[in-house]
Amino acid sequence: MTLSLPTGSAPLDAHPLRSEPLNVDKVTTTPITSNAATTDSNTSIHLDLSPVARGIASASEKAGNTQEAKNTKIDESNLPQEIKELLKRIVEYREELKEKQQELEEVMRDQSLNDEQRQAKLDALQQEISSLNNSLQEAMSQLSKLVSQLDVDDDAVVGMMSLAMS
């Protein structure tokens, strides 16, 4: 994850960078020629965040897009209750899949595991991911059947899919 922040009109020496910043892999600055009379500064800071910092930033970005917020959006829609329940399940399965895929990536990067331990964890996670994928496919199939049975109009289907995939 790359994060670029404009520094505004603050002088470049206002907040010196530490020689070994915490929780970042690399810090670079893009200086410009500046004079004290200039009020408009185009200086920016470029940060390459560590995996921990990326996780925090990602969680922060998703704070407004939590499963609870998604469920509230689904509840506020004008869809039939049966469809709302299926959409909530689909959102839940998708969130669980994202979590399991992140766990899978973490196991792949975990240098503290020997080959046997890593393979055992990978096998277990892959089994869980497979099960979640099957559940998600079943829920999507049920949703498709329900949409056909209830004869939902095209605009509602587009809105429904937007809710399911958000």
Cα-based distances in Å from 146 to 27, 80, 81, 97, 160: 52, 10, 11, 24, 12
Q: Does residue 46 sit in the same domain as residue 83?
A: no
Q: Does residue 159 sit in the same domain as residue 96?
A: yes
Q: Does residue 46 sit in the same domain as residue 78?
A: no
128 closest CA partner among 91, 92, 108, 103: 103
Q: Does residue 73 sit in the same domain as residue 43?
A: no
Q: Does residue 36 sit in the same domain as residue 118?
A: no
- pLDDT, tens digit (0-9, with 9 covering 90-100), for 47-80: 566 665 566 555 545 544 677 888 888 888 888 8
- pLDDT, tens digit (0-9, with 9 covering 90-100), for 118-161: 999 999 999 999 999 999 999 999 998 998 888 888 888 888 78
Q: Which residue range(s) make up the domain with 30?
A: 2-50
Q: Does residue 29 sit in the same domain as residue 74?
A: no
Count structural domains, the chain.
2
